[in-house]
Chain A
């Protein structure tokens, strides 16, 4: 069969590199969701304008066949560079200077001093909050230095909208190898050997999943990329799809070749409009370049991919529910078996992998399984990305090998735990919530445990998709448990009784605890119902829904009992349990609270300090809302 447009990857790579070497300076502005929210697009426009005014030529896309020596600036937006707390980030190459929190007003100075005169602007450099030292670029900043960025590698360095640049970084060469030089069995075996396990939470070996699907009879098979990253507190998949969409596509192509599929879907949640847009653009560009479509690399195989936008249902992250959603139905899970490998999308054998899993695939095919499995622990190979958030100095996207300790992540990469006011303190660590609504909490005693799939399961938590939320001493763990219960309860699809009714009961028991109605029976019932939901639910969402509660019950039993027996919340997060009083220092005797109190619990004369009668007070909080002097104590 004759190919219409057969692309020569090596040639594209060479001409891109040649064109890149003629560029005087390259400015890479982080254009991930985080930095855009902080004004990165305005900074980008300001650069465009300022560079032109300075009389230099500016390119947003390199012209591969241009051959003059004029001083040029290559301006690109990149995907998430990970250091969201410091955005917008601006990187200047070849020096690799990184400026943080860049504003439009800074742009003129950067152009004049750093682009025209190779100077470094000290005040825009990253300052280490611990010792005040300044770092010039990513290689010097602890946040980056201590990570192992394989899957995230090019994310944040390359222009996600340039297929040429992706190819210049050896992109699509793994796909070419897979289509032209490897048999499906060889690909599956390479994946098995690499030890890559599903990054979406379950941790099922990718190679085994592929082999199962390959061995199913039938002509029609599908590959699905699960980008329905619904876990609150996780944004790794979003960053990958935004920052390096071609890598995700290449992973899907290799999976398709491995199982004999010719059609694929990328299911992205609708809360990620930028990811949807970048994936669609990547597919178009790949089709135009002749990398994707019919007769790929002249192999005679074809692959077509389309993007499907979710419609806001957490349960669609579950694979069988996700497939129902692609079929246009309510996204409700189905019992397994049959597994998707046997009977998946439109009843055909289907491989469904998470974004991060697929993004690792091209690297493994290109570099070999032994390159990948030197990282990690015995049974959890490779690296894992985590979204590091909450009460931690350096929030952002990180990647570390499995086996890294929580201490390294929180204190060295994350820069330490923060108080509510944002200051770093050595004493305030309370817990890390890992794995979102399916995960659990880890505490001080777990800080030195190597993180991997099996260790986390043993602790009642799970890798999940990798949300890692740090909490300080001011967080109430019963409230955190309630937060997740409320989430899973409202996201429960209602198909099976244990999840639908069980989560509702658990939520109401938790409400009893935080509102002061609980007895010892409440506590034991909560645990009992939790175990039933865990055992009897239909899908992964239900089976893991009690985890945040069960794990906090184990780790923070004292805190629960304090709520139940003493009717006290030590962190003052539970309104109904707090002792409400009026600060005599702040009260001016304006009488507003006394007049507004619906039960008449507040008394005091004009211009005299008022008092609350705890016997009458219903802790409704009206006084706190109306007081202009912040004099009501007890509401957090």
Chain B
């Protein structure tokens, strides 16, 4: 049973707003899910149920769409989402080594994507279209091109240092 707390009710406010902005239109389901995911950073199950009810469609259908597209995540993601491009150009220029380096450093694996402190999520993604700069990784919106293990390490260390600074300041 889902216990509805005040915070959760407030959170649903945003979902209602998003659905209304999309005119309660079933055909805009993908846009609705995208906007909802922007708020929550993932799609919690109770929100999917809520959306289905609001749009008057079976939950299974909403779930079907949410699980079909790679962009939608039913699990919470970290604060920094690191996307390593595994398109052809990046692949032939060593993106898998880059992934290994990152996973090793953050103690993650092919199965475990998000670090326990909820700071980092690593994803291998299909082509980001910056093939001229292969191999490429993107952290949140920032694109890093022609990246090697050493630079990758630096970038990561900087983020970790930044986080530690914030934490010690608190």
A residues contacting B by CB (< 8 A) are 33-34, 36-38, 84-85, 87, 229-235, 238, 270-273, 308-314, 325-332, 346, 387, 389-391, 395-397, 433, 436, 467, 469, 471, 475, 480, 483-484, 487, 491, 493, 625
Contacts and interface: CB of A to CB of B under 8 A. Distances in A.
5 tightest A-B contacts by CB?
Answer: A84-B132, A232-B87, A312-B70, A311-B69, A233-B88
Contact of A469 (B29, B70, B71, B88): B88
Nearest to A437: B88
Given A271-B125, A313-B69, A232 B130 contact: no
Contact of B88 (A84, A85, A389, A493): A389
B88 A313 contact: no
Interface string B20-58: 000001111111011000000000000000000000000
B133 A84 contact: yes
B145 to A, nearest CB: 4
B71 A270 contact: yes
Interface of B: 25-31, 33-34, 64-65, 68-72, 86-89, 91-93, 104, 125-134, 136, 141, 143-145
Nearest to B145: A37
Given A232-B126, A314-B126, A395-B131, A37 B88 contact: no
A387 B131 contact: yes
Given A33-B130, A312-B70, A331-B68, A467 B34 contact: no
A308 B27 CA distance: 11
Contacts of A231: 127
A330 B89 contact: no
A38 B133 contact: yes
Nearest to B71: A312
A311 B34 contact: yes
B127 A233 contact: yes
Given A38-B133, A271-B125, A328 B27 contact: yes
Nearest to A313: B69
A85 B31 contact: no
A390 B129 contact: no
A4 B6 CA distance: 50
Given A311-B72, A313-B69, A234 B93 contact: no
22 contacts: A37-B136, A230-B127, A232-B127, A233-B87, A233-B89, A233-B131, A235-B127, A235-B129, A271-B127, A309-B34, A311-B69, A311-B70, A312-B125, A314-B126, A328-B29, A329-B29, A330-B64, A387-B132, A389-B131, A389-B134, A469-B131, A625-B104
A311 B33 contact: yes
A557 B92 CA distance: 20
Contacts of B65: 328-330
Contacts of A37: 130, 133, 136, 143-145
Contacts of B29: 328-329
B25 to A, nearest CB: 8
A395 B93 CA distance: 12
A312 B69 contact: yes
Contacts of A395: 89, 131-134
A235 B87 CA distance: 11
A195 to B, nearest CB: 28
A483 B88 contact: yes
A85 B132 contact: yes
Contact of B92 (A235, A312, A391): A391
Contacts of B26: 328
Contacts of B144: 37
Nearest to A330: B68
Contacts of B136: 37
Given A311-B30, A311-B34, A390-B93, A34 B130 contact: yes
Contacts of B31: 308-309
Contact of B129 (A38, A238, A484): A238
Given A233-B131, A312-B71, A433-B88, A487 B126 contact: yes
Among B29, B31, B72, B145, max chain A CB count under 10 A is at B145
